[in-house]
Amino acid sequence: MYMAISPLDGRYGKQLETLKIYFSEFALMKWRCFVELSFVEELIGTGLFAGITKAEASRIQSAKSDFSTEDYFRIKEIEKKIRHDVKSCEVFLGEKLNLAGDNNNLIHFGLTSEDINNIAYSSILKSYLEDVQLPALKKLITRMCEICESWRDDVFPARTHGQKASPTTAGKEMAVFVSRLSKIFAKLKKFTFKGKLNGATGNFSAFCAAFPDYDWIDFSNKFVGRLGLGSNCVTTQIEDHDAWAEYFNITRQVNNIVLDLDCDMWQYISYGYIREMSEPGAVGSSTMPHKVNPINFENSEGNIAISNSLLSVLSEKLCRSRMQRDLSDSTVERNIGVALAHSHLAISETLKGLNKIELNREKCLEEVKASPELLAEPMQTILRLAGVADPYTLLKNITRGKEATGSDLREFVNGLDIADEIKRKLLSLDVTRYTGLASKICDIALDTARSVIL
């Protein structure tokens, strides 16, 4: 581990251990063999070929469910000789199954390598999405919901363009991210990966040469569907990977929402609105003992930068292939796991950061109280209703770029030629309670999020 080139296998190796069953070379070989074996079973089910014995059927099932390290190394040994990874799987399975008569010829019957590869990769991505990505996102949303609910009514200093703006509640600030993440979670939950199984140039030519009267399109659709994928039968030699690109872009959108959260949390911590609780024994600086750095949010930000750059390359590159195909996609595909691992690491780091924070209620309340000029917005709005001419400019003249005090605002209101009722309404305004429907919006976001993730 300490000699690893990539930090994914080195520094962060233990955190990402579970991803090896999806994105390692071992995992790819396992899924290739699984697809090949499933295809053999599907062919036998057509009735076009001689049947197999119960013992042979058992060997196929065993090979599908128990792919071992010995199996992997045998495939790599074959690959050293023939220099083709998918063909090596075919040769290996022929050895392992040893089907009677000509039945070994059913392995890879009528197929091109990409028929196996595209379905293997899509199956890996489907498993990762269901087993890892969605649960991780659910944990993040659940934690955000807890924070949103806890901070629902706590007044919070808002900023636009970095300047003080109409106050909000801390819960509402979090509700925005709850809502955004919930929408993207729902989109990922419905996502369907595609697969193609139609031969060397996508025309089922080899299949038709063997059995011209059989409905191979229906066969392909059903086979791909049984693997939990959507069928794409109109392709060149390769599946177009447009669904992959869509998935990578959705994941990039997830990353960007989390990145936005990271940056806001970092800023709130720097302003003192939110405190990060220190961990016993931890050090924030090699020279400044007092520091508690927002390291998890910073780690997340850095990993998202790497993930997004790779996801962008993947979504652009893998949708293009010269003519029927070229092999420049092969080495690029092997980095899919790298892009997704950095994304997964980022989300886990953000979650760690969220589990160490608390709201500095006193600081937030103090800052909002010290900013009575924020009442210029509701005041000019009420004065509009009262028919006062250009109230915006009147308020601007006493507040813009100035430190207007409560006394300044009271003097301004008392000097207006308006009804006493309107004056009382203006003077009763409290900047610490000027949060509109923020709490109600929290409830809406929470209800929606919980219905989505549950």
- SS3 sequence of the chain: CCCCCCCCCCCCCCCCHHHHHHHCHHHHHHHHHHHHHHHHHHHHCCCCCCCCCHHHHHHHHHHHHCCCHHHHHHHHHHHHHHCCHHHHHHHHHHHHHCCCCCHHHHCCCCCCHHHHHHHHHHHHHHHHHHHHHHHHHHHHHHHHHHHHHHCCCCEEEEEECCEEEEEEEHHHHHHHHHHHHHHHHHHHHCCCCEECCCCCCCCCHHHHHHCCCCCHHHHHHHHHHHCCCEECCCCCCCCCCHHHHHHHHHHHHHHHHHHHHHHHHHHHHHHCCEEECCCCCCCCCCCCCCCCCCHHHHHHHHHHHHHHHHHHHHHHHCCCCCCCCCCHHHHHHCCHHHHHHHHHHHHHHHHHHHCCEEECHHHHHHHHHCCHHHHHHHHHHHHHHCCCCCHHHHHHHHHCCCCCCHHHHHHHHHCCCCCHHHHHHHHCCCHHHCCCCHHHHHHHHHHHHHHHHC
Q: Is residue 451 situated within a structural domain?
A: no
Q: Flag whether pLDDT at 291 surpasses 80.
A: no
The number of domains in the chain is 3
41 with 90, same domain? Answer: yes
Decide if 219 contacts 42 (C-beta within 8 A).
Answer: yes
Decide if 89 contacts 119 (C-beta within 8 A): no
- Asked if pLDDT for residue 426 goes beyond 90, the answer is yes
Per-residue pLDDT band at 285 (split at 50, 70, 90): low
The reply to whether 30 and 147 lie within a common domain is no
Q: What angle do CA 193, 200, 99 make, to 5 degrees?
A: 90
pLDDT score of 288 more than 60 = no
Instruction: Please identify which residue in the block is written with the tokens 């900013």.
Output: 371
In the predicted structure, residue 377 carries a pLDDT above the cut 70: yes
The verdict on 352 and 393 lying in the same domain is no
**Is the same domain home to 247 and 347?**
yes
How sure is the predictor about 263, in pLDDT bands with cuts at 50, 70 and 90?
very high
Query: What is the mean predicted confidence (pLDDT) over 148-164?
Result: 97
Q: Residue 293: pLDDT band by 50, 70, 90 thresholds?
A: confident
CATH number, domain containing residue 197 = 1.20.200.10
Catalytic residue among 161, 290, 407, 428: 161
CATH code of the domain in which 92 resides = 1.10.275.10
Residue linked to tokens 């990539």: 6
Distances, alpha carbon 198 to alpha carbons 161, 203, 243, in Å: 55, 6, 18
* Whole-prediction pTM: 0.94
Q: Is the domain of 72 the same as that of 26? A: yes
Residue 328 lies in a domain: yes
In the predicted structure, residue 287 carries a pLDDT above the cut 70: no
For tokens 């813009």, what's the residue? 400
> Which pLDDT does position 35 carry in this prediction?
98
In a domain, 28, yes or no: yes
Which pLDDT score is estimated for 50? 87
Q: Do residues 302 and 219 share a domain?
A: yes
If asked whether residues 275 and 384 sit together in one domain, one would say no
pLDDT per position as a tens digit, 3-44: 899 999 999 999 999 999 999 999 999 999 999 999 999 999
Instruction: In whole angstroms, give the CA distance from residue 32 to residue 38.
Output: 10
Q: Which of 190, 176, 178, 219 is nearest to 46 (CA)?
A: 219
Same domain (yes/no): 185, 63: no
Assign residue 420 the CATH number of its domain: 1.10.40.30
pLDDT band, residue 454 (cuts 50/70/90): confident
- Identify whether residues 66 and 176 lie together within a single domain: no
- Give a yes or no: residue 267 inside a domain: yes
Does residue 442 form part of some domain? no
Looking at 109, 141, 157, the residue that finishes a domain is: 109
pLDDT digits (tens, 9 = 90+) for 379-415: 999 999 999 999 999 999 999 988 889 999 999 999 9
The percentage of residues in the chain with a pLDDT greater than 70, rounded to a whole number, is: 96
Whether residue 285 lies in the annotated active site = yes
Examine the fold and report which residue of 86, 109, 132 is the final residue of a domain before the chain moves on: 109
In the structure encoding, which two tokens stand for residue 324, read together? 């029927």
pLDDT number for residue 437: 98
With beta carbons less than 8 A apart as the criterion, state whether 273 and 323 touch: no
The model's pLDDT over 343-374, given as tens digits with 9 standing for 90+, comes to: 999 999 999 999 999 999 999 999 999 999 99
> Per the structure block, which two tokens stand in for 123?
């199956």
pLDDT at 286: 53
* Domain end call among 64, 84, 109: 109
**261 to 155, 267, 301: CA distances (angstroms):** 19, 10, 9
Q: What pLDDT score was predicted for residue 78?
A: 98
Tell me what the mean pLDDT of segment 142-150 comes to: 98
State whether 148 and 170 are in the same domain: yes
Q: Is residue 384 part of a domain?
A: yes
pLDDT tens profile 199-255: 999 999 999 999 999 999 999 999 999 999 999 999 999 999 999 999 999 999 999
Query: Is 161 marked active-site?
Result: yes
Mean pLDDT across the chain: 95
At residue 280, the pLDDT reads 67
Same domain as 403, residue 267: no
pLDDT at 194 over 60: yes
Average confidence (pLDDT) over 57-63? 96
Is 175 domain-assigned? yes
Query: Residue 281's pLDDT is what?
Result: 60
How large is the average pLDDT for residues 416-430? 96
Is there a domain that residue 443 lies in? no
Please give the residue range of the domain that contains residue 418.
370-433
Task: For residues 240 and 357, state if they share a domain.
Answer: yes
Catalytic residue among 62, 205, 285, 328: 285
